[in-house]
């Protein structure tokens, strides 16, 4: 789902209309007034400068995958753009639609400022105990695949000869031209997924240090 902020403006209105005309996009527009403009794009009336109003208005949008921010603060003619107001609008938009970002920010500030956290390491995840071996079967089911046996794969090596495959994916789905070695940091994923120990992302230590933030 695409969320277009500033959907009544010159750019936002045309962007929302264009995406709405594509078969594989659901679109919701945001503007101060939910007036229709003939393009049949659902519109939510919200004042992005008001954080509480923004959070309340957008709390039901759980399927947003892309945010297009074309909103800008209206300033009197002859005056310059308000950096502070435009920044606040963007921050309110993100806070209202990406709850895990608030959780991550809150935990990061807590780790950096709480005296008891000095020289300590913490995980920051949402919910209970997290282990990759429990997640892969869910990925497989989503893709209608059968999970295979555990394998140790060096992604840097595995992806080194996949450029032709990636080219076909780009052509088949009309993707932006991008070399495969710039799509992801394959060496980083090698470090993350091929250690000699079991990766267990637990919040137990953070809870013991009195951090209890979650994404509800």
Residue after which a domain boundary falls, among 73, 97, 121:
97
**What is the distance between the alpha carbons of residues 199 and 194, in angstroms, rounded to a whole number?**
10
Same domain membership, residue 136 and residue 91: no
**What is the distance between the alpha carbons of residues 181 and 146, in angstroms, rounded to a whole number?**
28
Condensed to tens digits (0 to 9), the pLDDT of residues 147-178 reads 888 777 788 888 999 999 999 999 999 988 88
Residue after which a domain boundary falls, among 97, 116, 144:
97
Q: What is the CATH number of the domain that holds 62?
A: 3.40.50.720
Condensed to tens digits (0 to 9), the pLDDT of residues 88-104 reads 888 888 888 877 676 77
Residue after which a domain boundary falls, among 54, 78, 97:
97
Residue 105 maps to a domain = no
Residue 16 maps to a domain = yes
Same domain membership, residue 91 and residue 144: no
Quick check: 29 and 54 in contact, CB under 8 A? no
User: What pLDDT does residue 10 have?
Assistant: 84
Name the one residue in this structure whose structure tokens are 């140790």: 152
Residue 108 maps to a domain = no
Quick check: 103 and 214 in contact, CB under 8 A? yes
User: What pLDDT does residue 72 have?
Assistant: 83
Residue 145 maps to a domain = yes
Taking the CA atoms of the chain, what radius of gyration do you get in angstroms? 22
Which range marks the domain in which residue 164 is found?
Answer: 130-201
User: What pLDDT does residue 167 have?
Assistant: 94
Residue 215 maps to a domain = no
Binned at pLDDT 50, 70 and 90, residue 135 comes out as: confident
Condensed to tens digits (0 to 9), the pLDDT of residues 167-212 reads 999 999 998 888 898 888 787 777 777 777 777 778 889 999 999 8
Residue 123 maps to a domain = no
Residue 56 maps to a domain = yes
Residue 23 maps to a domain = yes
How far is C-alpha 146 from the geometric centre of its chain's CA atoms?
A: 28
Report the number of distinct structural domains present in the chain. 2
């Amino acid at each position: 789902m695409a969320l277009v902020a500033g959907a009544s403006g010159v750019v936002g209105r045309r962007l929302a209309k264009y995406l709405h005309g594509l078969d594989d996009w659901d679109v919701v527009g945001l503007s101060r007034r939910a007036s229709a403009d003939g393009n049949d794009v659902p519109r939510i009336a919200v004042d992005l400068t008001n954080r509480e109003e923004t959070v309340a208005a957008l709390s039901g949008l759980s399927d947003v995958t892309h945010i297009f921010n074309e909103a800008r603060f209206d300033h009197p003619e002859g005056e310059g753009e308000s950096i502070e107001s435009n920044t606040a609008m963007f921050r309110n938009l993100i806070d209202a639609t990406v709850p895990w970002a608030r959780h991550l920010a809150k935990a990061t500030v807590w780790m950096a400022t709480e005296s008891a956290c000095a020289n300590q390491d913490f995980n920051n995840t949402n919910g209970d105990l997290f282990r990759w071996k429990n997640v892969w079967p869910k990925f497989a089911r989503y893709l209608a695949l059968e999970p295979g046996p555990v394998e140790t794969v060096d992604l840097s090596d595995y992806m080194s000869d996949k450029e032709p495959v990636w080219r076909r994916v780009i052509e088949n789905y009309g993707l932006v031209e991008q070399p495969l070695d710039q799509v992801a940091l394959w060496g980083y994923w090698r470090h993350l997924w091929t250690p000699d120990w079991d990766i267990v992302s637990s919040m137990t230590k953070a809870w013991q240090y009195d951090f209890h933030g979650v994404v509800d």
